[in-house]
Structure 1
Amino acid sequence: MSQLFARVVRQAIATFDRKNVASFNKNFSVLKQLVDQLTPCDINLNMDLTTDEAFSRVGKAPVTYVNLMEDEEFEFSVFILRSGFTMPLHDHPVMHGILKVMSGSAMIESFTKEEATGSAGQQLLYDPDAVRIEVVQDEPRLCTNNDESVVLTPTKRNYHEITAVGGVAAFFDILSPPYDSNIPFYGRRKCSYYRVIPRNGESGKRTLERIPPPRDFYCDRGNYEPPDFLRA
């Protein structure tokens, strides 16, 4: 059993428990520091899933999805991308997330929404009917298992695409709350996909236009043997 992974699970429970909202920022920072230390061995990831051979069979999806655990407040998962494949640009509506590369190299390109306010003056974090979204492009990051995790929040780096560079890449993901969870004011949220439109004369600023789910992006599921403490 990985003591570190058990600590990550306990810290995630404390972080995303709505009773602990007053200490959220401190708890989230501790959670990130723990995730920074994770290795494939800690989470009991089947490394056979991360080889070129695993993606060579006929009909294999370009992405393998491994569900580690999920409850109403958060989900843990691993995504394994075929060499050269890009997980298309997508959003994380009103979510916090932590992404840690487990093996290989991944280029992460993120975008942050320009601030927008509603009629009552509150900041609009998510508009399910928006077709175009004004954003600022963040500095791209090439990450390996030796790098710190990457963080997204409801207001920062909430749109991203991920490319496996130079071979198969696998990354561990925490998202809170999970997609489809029902949260106050915003309701249930779906994952949406986008294409990038540059804005003339505005360096670093882009427009994201919502598109249908790309046909070349689909996943199959990888087997997972959870540690004993997750079986309880």
Structure 2
Amino acid sequence: MRVEGELATKSSGAQLVSKKANRPSKKGKRRQRRPDCKPTMVQRLFDTCKVVFAEATAGFVPPPEDVSRIRSILDSLKPTDVGLSPKLPFFKNIDTSMPPSITYLHVYECHQFSIGIFCLPPSAIIPLHNHPGMTVFSKILFGSMHIKSYDWVVVSQDSVEDPIEALSSGERLAKVKTDEVFTAPCETSILYPASGGNMHCFTAKTKCAVLDVLGPPYSIPDRNCTYYYDRVYAKHAGESPLDIGQGDGYSWLHERAGQPEELLVIGAEYSGPTIVEG
């Protein structure tokens, strides 16, 4: 991975290059909301996530009513609610000789959950990666984005579902969950530790921004991110443990070593409404 400046943190699977640290001040942490002050949308999101993910550990899945609570807020969220506009320089690809860099705005993170925003110029790609043990909410704030996602193909034995073993070449069989273009405004997408498209890839069709809520967040080494190549099913069709014909809707995923060199995520300061802890 190309790095410019001081290495900051790792979130949503990508190492970040920080232009400016974005840590809430002690003074900010001590602030209390006035009882008569209507909370901002991002404050409502934080307050809800704090309750829903209070006991979140790897593999935690919120009950359906709590999933609906978070999704309802995200579905109503607008770019202006987090201080974003397509006119910001994050969404311009200045150096066309290189893959577009992606800007990550760190909104909040604790041991139980994180909130962050990815700002993608046109044609920028977040390569195929996983979310081990996580429930993830993704809300496209503006623009159009192609999302392709997979889940591992599993076999049921004694009421227990296990992923199919990898081939000798390292590939494992996965089933496509999503393969389409989404344009804002659209519903929030949700993936779970073992379903819903836990491994996904984002490709910006236009300049776009996506807000992610991860519960729990990435953590090294417990919940580290893995990147994958996806290969056509026909490549190893003769070795497939399943009889699925031409394998439409299936691919072989092969783990990549480390982080993709073509992926550059630059950390920048979140300038939207302040989150008040308390």
TM range, smaller chain: 0.7 to 0.9
Q: Specify which of 192, 197, 201 is matched with residue 161 of structure 1.
A: 201
User: C-alpha deviations, 1:17-36, integer Å up to 9, x for none?
Assistant: 228x8972211121112111
Number of the residue aligned with 2:231: 197
How many Å apart are 1:115 and its aligned residue? 2.0
Summarize the alignment of residues 1-232 of structure 1 with structure 2, pairs less than 5 Å apart: 3-18=40-55, 24-45=63-84, 47=86, 48-52=88-92, 55-56=93-94, 62-116=101-155, 122-123=160-161, 131-156=170-195, 157-165=197-205, 167-180=206-219, 188-200=222-234, 201-212=246-257, 213-230=259-276
Q: Is the 8 A contact 2:122 2:208 kept in 1?
A: yes
Task: Find the aligned partners of 1:92 and 1:111 in 2 and give their Cα distance.
Answer: 11
Task: Find the aligned partners of 1:95 and 1:216 in 2 and give their Cα distance.
Answer: 25
Larger Rg: 2
Aligned residue identity for 2:75: D
Number of the residue aligned with 1:184: none
Q: Is the 8 A contact 1:106 1:163 kept in 2?
A: yes
Deviates most, 108-117 or 55-64? 55-64
Instruction: Name the structure with the higher helix share.
Output: 1
Task: Find the aligned partners of 2:273 and 2:176 in 1 and give their Cα distance.
Answer: 38
User: C-alpha deviations, 1:65-84, integer Å up to 9, x for none?
Assistant: 11000011110001111211
Task: Find the aligned partners of 1:223 and 1:106 in 2 and give their Cα distance.
Answer: 23
Q: Is the 8 A contact 2:46 2:275 kept in 1?
A: no
Q: Is the 8 A contact 1:135 1:207 kept in 2?
A: yes
How many Å apart are 1:40 and its aligned residue? 1.4
Identical-residue share of aligned pairs (%): 22
Aligned residue identity for 2:228: Y
Q: Is the 8 A contact 2:121 2:204 kept in 1?
A: yes
SS in structure 2 at match of 1:188: coil
Task: Find the aligned partners of 2:261 and 2:145 in 1 and give their Cα distance.
Answer: 22
Over aligned residue pairs, what C-alpha RMSD do you find? 2.9
User: C-alpha deviations, 1:128-180, integer Å up to 9, x for none?
Assistant: xx943321012323222211111110112000000010x32111011111111
Describe the shift of the 1:70–1:217 C-alpha distance in structure 2 as closer, same or farther (beyond 3 A).
same
Q: Is the 8 A contact 1:64 1:79 kept in 2?
A: yes
Describe the shift of the 1:65–1:151 C-alpha distance in structure 2 as closer, same or farther (beyond 3 A).
same
Describe the shift of the 1:225–1:22 C-alpha distance in structure 2 as closer, same or farther (beyond 3 A).
closer
Query: When the two structures are superposed, what TM-score results if normalisation uses the length of structure 2?
Result: 0.70
Task: Find the aligned partners of 2:216 and 2:134 in 1 and give their Cα distance.
Answer: 6
Unaligned runs of at least 5 residues, structure 1 = 182-186
Query: When the two structures are superposed, what TM-score results if normalisation uses the length of structure 1?
Result: 0.82
Task: Find the aligned partners of 2:274 and 2:120 in 1 and give their Cα distance.
Answer: 27
Task: Find the aligned partners of 1:64 and 1:229 in 2 and give their Cα distance.
Answer: 20
Task: Find the aligned partners of 2:102 and 2:260 in 1 and give their Cα distance.
Answer: 13
Q: Is the 8 A contact 1:2 1:227 kept in 2?
A: no
How many Å apart are 1:13 and its aligned residue? 1.2
Q: Is the 8 A contact 2:91 2:119 kept in 1?
A: no
How many Å apart are 1:227 and its aligned residue? 2.3
Q: Is the 8 A contact 1:72 1:178 kept in 2?
A: yes
Task: Find the aligned partners of 1:100 and 1:138 in 2 and give their Cα distance.
Answer: 17
Aligned residues: 219
Q: Is the 8 A contact 1:114 1:136 kept in 2?
A: yes
Q: Is the 8 A contact 1:36 1:147 kept in 2?
A: yes
